[in-house]
Amino acid sequence: MTRVLKAWPRLSLVIVALLGALLVGTTAALAVSVTKTGKTVRAVKVVTESGATSTTSSTFVDMAVMSLTMTVPSGEQGLFVIEFSGSGTCTEIAPTNATAFCDVMIQVDNSAAAPPGDVVWLQAANGTSSSFHAQSFTFVSGPLNAGSHRFDVQFRSLNGSFHFADRSLMVMRTTV
């Protein structure tokens, strides 16, 4: 019995380590991570706006003024780092006792959303409204081939309304 008691601290440490490894392995299996590497920053464009804009649309719509176009020169490819920042609020309006989700995404060339896709910006529940929050998110697109590429901020509100005040869009193009 004495040998078992003396071995217990080591055995419990091994059990904790194995459980920790199992949990880390499980978490890693559920998370998806993508790394993209650009080289030299070749161009930066920024647009800012302080006028209010809002939507109650449940499908993504373009956000006023938040659009930029950049060109990749012939013979090159570009990796784009897109940052959207803004001060917004989300209000739950229908149906009663539902949660409103206010989402943002970046549409590239009028089709594909830049990874990671749509992002829940704010949410509100039970007839409430979130206070205005300033937030920022970075999206990545590419590598994209030579030519002109358009980047549009889009937003939607599921079960509510989504309002923005001050906001900015920055797009950086790097070489690949």
Residue-range definition of the domain harbouring residue 90? 41-175
- Transcribe 112-176 into DSSP letters: PBPTT--EEEEEEETT-BPPPEEEEEEEEEEEEEEEEEEEEEEEEEESEEEEEEEEEEEEEEEE-
Whole-number Å distance between alpha carbons of 170 and 15: 49
Q: Is residue 148 part of a domain?
A: yes
- Shared domain check, 72 and 4: no
pLDDT of 80: 96
C-alpha dihedral (116, 117, 122, 125), degrees to nearest 10: -120
Residues 82 and 162 in one domain: yes
Q: Are 90 and 123 in contact (CB under 8 A)?
A: yes
Same structural domain for residues 101 and 75?
yes
Express each pLDDT in 8-45 by its tens digit: 454 344 333 433 433 334 333 345 666 777 778 999 99
Q: Does 36 reside within a domain? A: no
Are the C-beta atoms of residues 145 and 108 closer than 8 Å to each other? no
Q: What are phi and psi of 116, to 5 degrees?
A: -90, 15
Residues 47 and 133 in one domain: yes
Do residue 85 and residue 168 come from a single domain?
Answer: yes
- Read off the pLDDT of each residue in 141-159 and give the average, rounded to a whole number: 95
pLDDT tens profile 126-147:
777 777 888 999 999 999 999 9
| Claim to verify: residue 27 and residue 46 sit in the same structural domain | no
3-state secondary structure of 60: coil
- How many structural domains comprise the chain? 2
Mean pLDDT of 76-102: 87
Backbone dihedral angles phi then psi of residue 52, each to the nearest 5 degrees = -70, 150
Please tell me whether residues 48 and 25 are part of one structural domain: no
* 142 and 90 share one domain: yes
Do 156 and 124 lie in a common domain?
yes
Which CATH number covers residue 144?
2.60.120.760
Q: What is the pTM of this model?
A: 0.77
Q: For 1-53, give the DSSP string.
A: -HHHHHHHHHHHHHHHHHHHHHHHHHHHHH---------SEEEEEEEEE-S-E
Output the six-digit token pair for 2: 């004495």
Q: Do 49 and 18 have their domain in common?
A: no
Q: What is the pLDDT of residue 32?
A: 62
Name, of 34-38, 53-57, 122-126, the range with top average pLDDT.
Answer: 53-57
Mean pLDDT for 67-74 is 97
- What are residue 40's phi and psi, to 5 degrees? -80, 135
Distance (Å) of CA 142 to CA 9, 106, 137, 152: 52, 13, 17, 15
**Are residue 111 and residue 153 in the same domain, yes or no?**
yes
